[in-house]
Amino acid sequence: MRLPLFILLCLTIVLSSCSEYQRVLRKDDMGKKFALADSLYKIGKYKKGLKLMEQIVPSYRGKPQGEKLMFIYSNTYYNLEDYVLAGYQFERFTQAYPQSDSVEVASFKSARSFYELSPRSALDQRDTYKALEKLQEFINRYPNSEKRVEANTLVAELREKLETKEYNTAKQYLHIEDYKAAIGAFDNFITDNPGSHYRKDAFYGRYVAAYKLAINSIPNLVQERLITAKGYYSNFIKYYKDTDLAPEALEIYQDIESRIVPTETKPNS
């Protein structure tokens, strides 16, 4: 069966292209490697282009073409979603070419790479803190950048992730009945996150932890800790008396009141 002429032509072009790529890849002609890598980059053939770039990047450091090569090399990793190497290479680019017209884009993509590496809130958040640092550096360095709004959105998202992590840690202490740790964690959360949407739950969680600590204490500590819990109720109700948690908070408060032993009044002498 004879293949149509068009298909044969396409196959010929593809095979020729592949053989040309292999020839350039094997040869030591840096100029041809650069030109082909640039062409492949422009048409989105990032994996093939990367193999060529990896061979020639060391040879172009300090040369006029080095700036362009380092940028497309970094951006190739970014487009391939290898954010570890993209962040690292963009960072190197900004250090090597601080006066480049591409330095602002490189700075943003470096920060964005660290953002992409930030894990879900349940996991260790070191990469999240790194991403926040890099994004804030970008915002401070380029206050008028067209990427500023996006950068601020990413910062808000990462901060909310950290809030979630911190709040869930406090809640976990409450769940495992480590009430002292829960009170401390909720205290820190309330201080560190004044605008958080978890704030109401943190006030309530601290109150519940203080109540449970009190009623599970040894007898000579119960009264003192009930009074502390009562103070946390006052803190909660000051801000959240009309919320869905107020009825439950009141029930606990009534139990606290029933357990507090009135201080005897000494008779006048």
Q: Is residue 2 part of a domain?
A: no
Number of structural domains, the chain? 1
Residue 217 pLDDT exceeds 80: yes
Q: Is position 36 within any domain?
A: yes
Q: Is residue 97 part of a domain?
A: yes
Half-sphere exposure of 104 (CA within 13 A, CB side): 12
Task: With a cut of 80, say whether residue 237 has pLDDT above it.
Answer: yes
Q: Quick check: is 191 in a domain?
A: no
* pTM attached to this predicted model: 0.77
% of the chain at pLDDT higher than 90: 74
Domain membership flag for residue 159:
no
pLDDT tens digit sequence for 85-97: 999 999 999 999 9
Identity at 268, one-letter amino acid code = N
User: What proportions of the chain, in percent to the nearest 5, are helix, strand and coil?
Assistant: 75, 0, 25
Report residue 96 CA to chain centroid gap: 26
- Residue 1 is classified by DSSP as -
* Domain harbouring 83, CATH code: 1.25.40.10
Provide the pLDDT confidence category of residue 147 given band limits of 50, 70 and 90: very high
Residue 78, domain member (yes or no): yes
Q: Could you list the residue range(s) of the whole structural domain that residue 45 is in?
A: 29-117
Distance CA 40, CA 49 (A): 5
What is the dihedral sign for C-alpha 38, 44, 46, 51? negative
Look at residue 226 and tell me if it is in a domain. Answer: no
Q: Is the pLDDT of residue 132 over 90?
A: yes
Q: What is the pLDDT of residue 149?
A: 96
Whose structure tokens read 């040879």?
59
- The two structure tokens encoding residue 47: 């994996």
Does position 15 have pLDDT exceeding 60, yes or no? no
- Whether 199 is covered by a domain: the verdict is no
